[in-house]
Amino acid sequence: MELAGKHLVLGLTGGIACYKIAELTRRLIKGGATVQIMMTEAATQFITPVTMQALSGRPVYVSQWDSRMPNNMPHIDLSREADVIVIAPASTDFMAKLAHGMCDNLLSTLCIARDCPLLVVPAMNRQMWQNPATQRNVTQLRADGVEVLGPDSGSQACGEVGDGRMIETAAAFEAICAFFQPKILRGQRVLITAGPTFEPLDPVRGITNRSSGKMGFALARAAAQAGADVHLVAGPVALKTPWGVYREDVQTAQQMHDVVMQVTPDTDIFIAVAAVADWRVDHVSEHKIKKTGDGSLPTFSFIENPDILATVAKLANPPYCVGFAAESWDLDVHGEEKRKRKNVPLLIGNLGPLTFGHDDNEVVLFEASGVTPVPRADKRDLARTLIAEIAKRAPKTGGPLLS
Ligand code: CTP
């Protein structure tokens, strides 16, 4: 579980987006975190402490005069236990309080007394968000080292449309998970290909393969969580874009090649996970190919697709290149042979057809110095391990690396 062992104080302030925090709390707890809810009086107008207590499994704190703590100092004790304090939703008023160091209720006092990081998730009407006073407060909070997540743009509970609505709970959950990851790729630009390609035969048919894209998407997520600027080039897959990742969709190998070649000059690390079709038909029929009815079969002639990874690795000044190889047999021999053939420093091999579409995977790292097996793990955990291995090996570029 991603948040196992993490303890959060989740502070709710007054706003209609409070209803989203019930769902966020459930997700955080499912992710392994313990969650201490604290609410302002205004927040209790939007969702009850009873609901939040039932979901978090802990007593909820609202009043600064709450005497349940033996020393009567919940603002100190609850802050000391926290790995992070998350304010969601953060109202206009509460952000103003934070920016000015005011502490006239339990939650604002806790924030001032904290010795852990603070994340705020704003939620308000678009005019309130755009108000120069709010914008000044946001700038001040960022300057004080507070991480501000969002807001989103779109339709609002008040009926208006614009910036200010709270980011979706899934995004807030992802941002909180990312917060806990070491920023080992901060400042690095990572390009990842993922999924299969689709090579058309005619307007309705084509050739593809069984790659689900899960491994590539998990790597994109892990790289973004590690602080990288991630560009994901995806073949046809039914997967959600990981939080903080820039995604471009393509169909064919040639389209994937063209996007990759365009982005490569601005790339520090290229991770080719896509199961790229090796061939395409040399002539795609303009119309649907019909059955003849006389038993004769269509014939196709194929031409080879560009080898995207090998082409990038051959550039005069290539990014650090990582290949993937899904082999159905004799991985040890094929993996190292493929690494050399593609001229890449690192190739990650797995027994592919057995793991296509699965949520876990087991891989082997091939490099000039030898072979390192990586034990079977959930693709998300494995992705984090692989990103750590890649970060260790890739030349350091960009900004200062944090531990
Ligand atoms: N790859 C690529 N472009 C291609 C084919 C493969 O970028 N046209 C990349 C894949 O993304 C992967 C690596 O090369 O990182 C190995 O892919 P694989 O399909 O195993 O390699 P092939 O050269 O096609 O070898 P095989 O003969 O086993 O199919």
Query: Is the sign of the CA dihedral 173, 179, 185, 187 positive or negative?
Result: positive
CATH 3.40.50.10300 for the 189-393 domain, yes or no: yes
Residue 281 forms beta bridges with which residues?
302
- Ligand 1 midpoint to CA 170 (Å): 34
| Nearest ligand 1 atom to alpha carbon 341 | 23
| Nearest ligand 1 atom to alpha carbon 326 | 20
Q: What stretch(es) of the chain map to CATH 3.40.50.10300? A: 189-393
CA distance 228 to 247: 14
Cα distances (Å, whole numbers) of residue 7 to 32, 36, 37, 242: 9, 8, 11, 24
Q: Which residue among 18, 103, 158, 177 is the active-site one?
A: 158
Residues listed for the chain: 403
State the pLDDT confidence band at 399, using cuts at 50, 70 and 90. very low
Q: Which of 233, 303, 309 to mutate to test the pocket of ligand 1 (most atoms within 8 A of CB)?
A: 309
pLDDT per residue as tens digits for the range 263-297: 999 999 999 999 999 999 999 999 999 988 888 99
Cα distances (Å, whole numbers) of residue 57 to 5, 16, 60, 211: 16, 23, 9, 41
pLDDT at 355: 62
> Ligand 1, atom 9: nearest CA belongs to which residue?
309
- Ligand 1 midpoint to CA 227 (Å): 28
| Residues sharing a CB contact under 8 Å with residue 101, sequence separation 6 or more, in sequence order | 112
pLDDT, average across residues 95-116: 96
Q: What is the pTM of this model?
A: 0.91
- Ligand 1 midpoint to CA 285 (Å): 26
- Ligand 1 midpoint to CA 276 (Å): 6
| Nearest ligand 1 atom to alpha carbon 322 | 15
pLDDT per residue as tens digits for the range 5-25: 999 999 999 999 999 999 999
pLDDT at 292: 85
> Ligand 1, atom 18: nearest CA belongs to which residue?
325
**Where does residue 208 rank: exposed (0-12), middle (13-18), buried (19+ CB within 10 A)?**
middle
Q: Is 197 helix (H, G, I), strand (E, B) or coil?
A: coil
- Ligand 1 midpoint to CA 325 (Å): 7
Q: Which of 70, 112, 107 is nearest to 90 (CA)?
A: 107
| Nearest ligand 1 atom to alpha carbon 253 | 8
Q: What stretch(es) of the chain map to CATH 3.40.50.1950? A: 7-179
State the pLDDT confidence band at 74, using cuts at 50, 70 and 90. confident
> Ligand 1, atom 24: nearest CA belongs to which residue?
278
Q: Which of 303, 307, 320 to mutate to test the pocket of ligand 1 (most atoms within 8 A of CB)?
A: 307
pLDDT at 353: 60
State the pLDDT confidence band at 300, using cuts at 50, 70 and 90. very high
State the pLDDT confidence band at 323, using cuts at 50, 70 and 90. very high
State the pLDDT confidence band at 402, using cuts at 50, 70 and 90. very low
Residue with tokens 């097996």: 373
| Nearest ligand 1 atom to alpha carbon 342 | 14
> Ligand 1, atom 27: nearest CA belongs to which residue?
278
Q: Does the annotation count 116 as an active-site position?
A: no
Instruction: Ligand 1: list residues with CB < 6 Å.
Output: 193, 253, 272-274, 276, 278, 305, 307-309, 323-325, 338, 342
- Ligand 1 midpoint to CA 210 (Å): 14
Paired tokens of 63? 């009043």
- Ligand 1 midpoint to CA 193 (Å): 11
Domain spanning 7-179: which CATH class is it, in words?
A: alpha beta
CA distance 252 to 277: 8
> Ligand 1, atom 28: nearest CA belongs to which residue?
327
pLDDT of 398 strictly over 60: no
| Nearest ligand 1 atom to alpha carbon 274 | 11
pLDDT per residue as tens digits for the range 153-187: 988 888 888 899 999 999 999 999 999 999 999 99
